């Protein structure tokens, strides 16, 4: 069970309150990878201060979209604005946290050394760094494993260490690619509660998943399929619009609707 610091990583930053209403805005966003069209003219707005779920089946383009938001994706065309700056702008480096689908931590370092390293990249020093590292480890319930090398952790512990490394710099926009994969239901619930608290504290979270039942945890949903946005909505509106009672049925109803419209 995750034991939460009631206020994880809470060093309030005036930039958060000054953030534009749309944390991410895309218009006509297209991406080519390996010579193939992967995203096809995506339009979307992700509101600041909320948890937005990016849902869609494997291969629908979730990771590609996230990589474009962070500015690490080549061959991107169209308009993509992140926290009021062009995606990938140097000014965004400390304002955006990205946890990749595969845990991005150093296997030969301890959990604490990894999180300390990311704290230093975020410009934290001395007692500020120590407090932030402690809070990040507590928020993902890894304090007990702080001295353990990443290589000896379980898969779920490793992905939580990667999350701690993402949270430690207290970024305004937190982009998490399938952070709950492979975690047990108790841990998944605790992490969603943590995401909720971070949003309540003014952070913007974009969380991808192909587990449709995680939709109900989000404030807003972007449903993707084959490199397109099928719907940008709220969990309640999704169910109401499709006359269904769960997100998986709603997703299938949208696919059926698209099929009968074409």
Query: Which member of 60, 110, 138, 233 binds ligand ATP (CB under 6 A)?
Result: 60
Q: How far is 179 from 18, CA to CA, in rounded Å? A: 28
Which of these ranges, 58-66, 143-151, 157-165, 195-203, lies near Mg ion under the rule CB under 5 A? 58-66
In the region spanning residues 13 to 42, those forming contacts with ligand ATP, defined by CB under 6 A, are 33-34, 36, 38
Q: Kindly state the smallest distance separating residue 239's Cβ from ligand ATP, in Å.
A: 23
> Cβ-closest residue to ligand ATP?
34
Q: Kindly state the smallest distance separating residue 210's Cβ from Mg ion, in Å.
A: 8
Number of residues located near ligand ATP, criterion CB under 6 A: 14
68 binds, among Mg ion, ligand ATP, none (CB under 5 to 8 A by kind): none
Q: Is 63 in the site for Mg ion (CB under 5 A)?
A: yes
Query: Which member of 63, 166, 170, 232 binds ligand ATP (CB under 6 A)?
Result: 63
Report CA 177 to chain centroid distance, whole Å.
Answer: 5
HSE value, Cβ hemisphere, 13 Å, CA-based, for 154: 8
């Amino acid at each position: 069970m995750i034991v939460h610091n009631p206020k994880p990583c809470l060093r309030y930053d005036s930039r958060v309150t000054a953030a534009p209403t749309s944390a991410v805005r895309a218009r006509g966003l297209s991406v080519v990878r390996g010579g193939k069209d992967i995203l096809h003219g995506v339009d979307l707005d992700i509101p600041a201060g909320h948890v937005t779920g990016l849902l869609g089946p494997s291969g629908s383009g979730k990771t590609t979209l996230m990589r474009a938001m962070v500015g690490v994706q080549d061959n991107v065309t169209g308009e993509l604005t992140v926290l009021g700056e062009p995606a990938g702008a140097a000014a965004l480096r400390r304002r955006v946290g990205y946890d990749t689908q595969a845990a991005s931590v150093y296997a030969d370092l301890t959990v604490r050394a990894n999180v300390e390293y990311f704290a230093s990249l975020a410009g934290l020093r001395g007692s500020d760094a120590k407090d932030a590292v402690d809070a990040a480890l507590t928020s993902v319930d890894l304090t007990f494993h702080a001295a353990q090398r990443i290589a000896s952790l379980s898969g779920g512990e490793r992905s939580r260490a990667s999350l701690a490394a993402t949270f430690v710099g207290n970024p305004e926009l937190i982009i998490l690619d399938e952070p709950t994969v492979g975690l047990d239901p108790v841990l998944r619930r605790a992490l969603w509660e943590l995401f909720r608290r971070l949003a309540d504290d003014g952070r913007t979270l974009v969380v991808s998943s192909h587990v449709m039942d995680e939709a109900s945890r989000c404030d807003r949903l972007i449903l993707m399929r084959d490199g397109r946005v099928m719907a940008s909505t709220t969990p309640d509106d999704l169910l109401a619009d499709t006359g269904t009672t769960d997100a998986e049925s709603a997703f299938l109803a949208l696919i059926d609707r698209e099929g009968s419209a074409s």
